[in-house]
Structure 1
Amino acid sequence: MIIRVRRVAAACALGAALTACGAPSAPHASRPAPTASTAVTSRPPTLAPGPAGLTPVFKNGPRVDGKTVALTFDADMTADQGPRAAAGEHFDNPQLIATLRALKVPATVFMTGRWADEYPAEARDIGRDPRFEIANHSYSHYAFTGDCYGLPTVSRDRMKADVERAYTAFKKAGVPNAMPYFRFPGGCYDRQALKTLSAVGVTAVQWDVVSGDAFATDSDAVAQQVLEGVQPGSVVVMHCTRSAAPATEKAVRMIVPELRKKGYRFVKVSELIGAADRHR
């Protein structure tokens, strides 16, 4: 998902430059040691289906359940971008992942299956780090509606298969427990898309704070936009790529200490969804 925003969301040509995130196999000294709670796999929290069984949509956590905030990073790579990667374009940002680890910030990575196919070692490295969780961002990063920031469109009869193919790609890469959360490419969806994906059993995850980091070069502006937008329970959408979101890593280094000074605690999306479910 890429949206370029300064205060108000503005359309941008996503097909020209899409973002992604990743990290190399790095020393694990800064990672939390496995504990009984992390070693035992429990069922991730999800929201109940919406009216008529539609896929539920999650935007933010409770505003009254403490000062928590979830940073999310979209690992975008479309199905037809292999030649660009082969030519040297980097759809990953190892330094950003290293910074999140150094700052001890948990995060949720919404990854496309095509990206996992391109960077299986990075996908596995992130997926096996208990500080992070990997969620589904489709396989192809094609839009699930028409007129979605210039993205190609996946047909209705291929939507379910596209999501399931991403999970297959994660498993092939060695990601042990991909989460049952799905972010629509471009954030674009309609009732028909929600109906079509109901059989997959995912919770669709949107956001309430757009960082504006896509294509941005001013890290101060990105940080300011996030800091001004965050409320208790917020979900922040960001990106991690060296090619299309070069300011993100530096912005994160400014955002994290400032939010901590304000009393915020960083969590993964799963924790916010669990809190939202308890408040229903």
Structure 2
Amino acid sequence: MNPKSTKKFATKTAIIISSIALIFLSTDNLKTANSNSLAQIPPFFEDSPPNLLKPPKQKKIPPSPPPTPAPTPPEQPLIFAPPAQFRGQIVYQANISNSKVIALTFDDGPTPETLKILEVLQQHNAVATFFCLGRNLREFPEIAKKVVQSGNAIGNHTWHHYYHDVTEKTASNEIDYTGIHIHRSTGTKSLLFRPPGGHLNNGLAAYAKKKNYVVVMWSIDPKDYLQQPPSTIANTVISQAKSGAIVLLHDGGGPRYNTVKALSIIIPKLKQQGYRFVTIPQLLEMQAAQKK
């Protein structure tokens, strides 16, 4: 190799070595710079990162208290029936000597007037028996239902309230269809029958007796249907009251304001005298039990 070639080779080698040295120097500086920069960046989470997939904790909600049960209406029998010895018989009053009891009865309902009578009965913790017309049962079934739910008895007063003579077929329609509507409106059946106007010889009472109804008449009639003053109605009932008596009143056939007012006099006064108010089935059960 000549001296010129040797010199050129040495020069190139020196340049290459210098370049390599510069590369290594630059790389070290870059690493140092990057390390310093990363050290200055604060971490995004100081502590462990939360689990973003985990649902947030729910506050515990105390369970709702159980609902208050609705008041249970008084239990009623599936059938309002007298003891066997009274079926097919006519009854005007009961013979009871060991207790002071009296039976209030109401004819020609149910009507809106019935609700006023029920209110008075409930205020004084008294019960009664309601002899209903079939056509009114069809029109006011909810009132009839309330009669029974309030602890009262219900009876059959025919469909149309006929006074005139009827055939057995008509009597069957009058009494049987009313019985069907007693059951539809109240869920009960009844073997209590009162002939309209108290007529016993027009065919209706005869059919009822044939079907084992007890025909319920009365021993006290204050004639409230004449719209007499409340005091007159009340005085008649109170003056004639005796144990086992059956009182005739009305909750249908027209306004019954005077009857309602009289009732508010009758019940407290007779209670002061020691009387209890019972339904017709209860009254007849007491007589039957007394003879045992």
TM-score calculated relative to the size of structure 2: 0.68
Distance of aligned partners of 1:114 and 1:277 in 2 relative to their CA distance in 1, 3 Å threshold: same
- Which residue, 153, 170, 178 being the options, matches 1:166? 178
Using the TM superposition, give the Cα deviation of residue 241 of structure 1 relative to its aligned residue in structure 2, in angstroms.
4.0
Residue deviations 1:95-146 (CA, integer Å, cap 9, x gap): 22211111111110000111101111211221233x2111111112112xx4
2:143 corresponds to 1:110: no
Q: Among 60, 65, 75, which residue is 2:108 paired with?
A: 75
Structure 1 counterpart of 2:81, one-letter code: P
Q: Identity across aligned pairs (percent)? A: 22
1:15 equivalent in structure 2: none
Q: Does the C-alpha gap of structure 1 residues 121 and 92 become closer, same or farther in structure 2, counting only changes over 3 Å?
A: same
- Pairing of 1:1-280 with structure 2 (within 5 A): 34=73, 38=75, 41=78, 44-48=81-85, 55-76=88-109, 92-129=113-150, 131-143=151-163, 146=164, 153-173=165-185, 175-190=186-201, 193-241=204-252, 243-279=254-290
- The alignment of Structure 1 onto Structure 2 pairs a total of residues equal to 221
Displacement, 1:42? 7.2
Segments of 5+ residues of structure 1 without an aligned counterpart are 1-31, 78-89, 147-152
CA 1:41/1:123 → structure 2, altered by over 3 Å: closer, same or farther?
Answer: closer
- Per-residue deviation at 1:279? 4.7
**Residue-by-residue CA offset, 1:62-115 (whole Å, 9 max, x unaligned):** 1413100011111258xxxxxxxxxxxx76342222111111111100001111
- The root-mean-square deviation of aligned C-alpha atoms, in Å, is 2.6
Q: Is the 8 A contact 1:69 1:267 kept in 2?
A: yes
Unaligned runs of 5+ in 2: 1-70
Deviates more, 1:229-238 or 1:56-65: 56-65
Q: Where does residue 32 of structure 2 map in the other structure?
A: none
Q: Distance in 2 between matches of 1:33 and 1:46?
A: 27
Larger of the two Rg values belongs to structure: 2
Larger relative contact order (CA 8 Å, sep ≥ 6): 1
Q: Aligned partners of 2:264, 2:168: CA distance in 1, in Å?
A: 41
SS in 2 for 1:237: strand
1:189 Cα offset (Å): 0.5
Cα 1:110–1:193 change in 2 (3 A) is: closer
Question: TM-score scaled to structure 1, two decimals?
Answer: 0.71
Give the whole-Å Cα distance in 2 for the aligned partners of 1:133 and 1:195. 22
In structure 2, relative to structure 1, the CA distance for the partners of 1:205 and 1:47 (3 Å cut) is: farther
The amino acid across from 1:185 in the alignment is: P
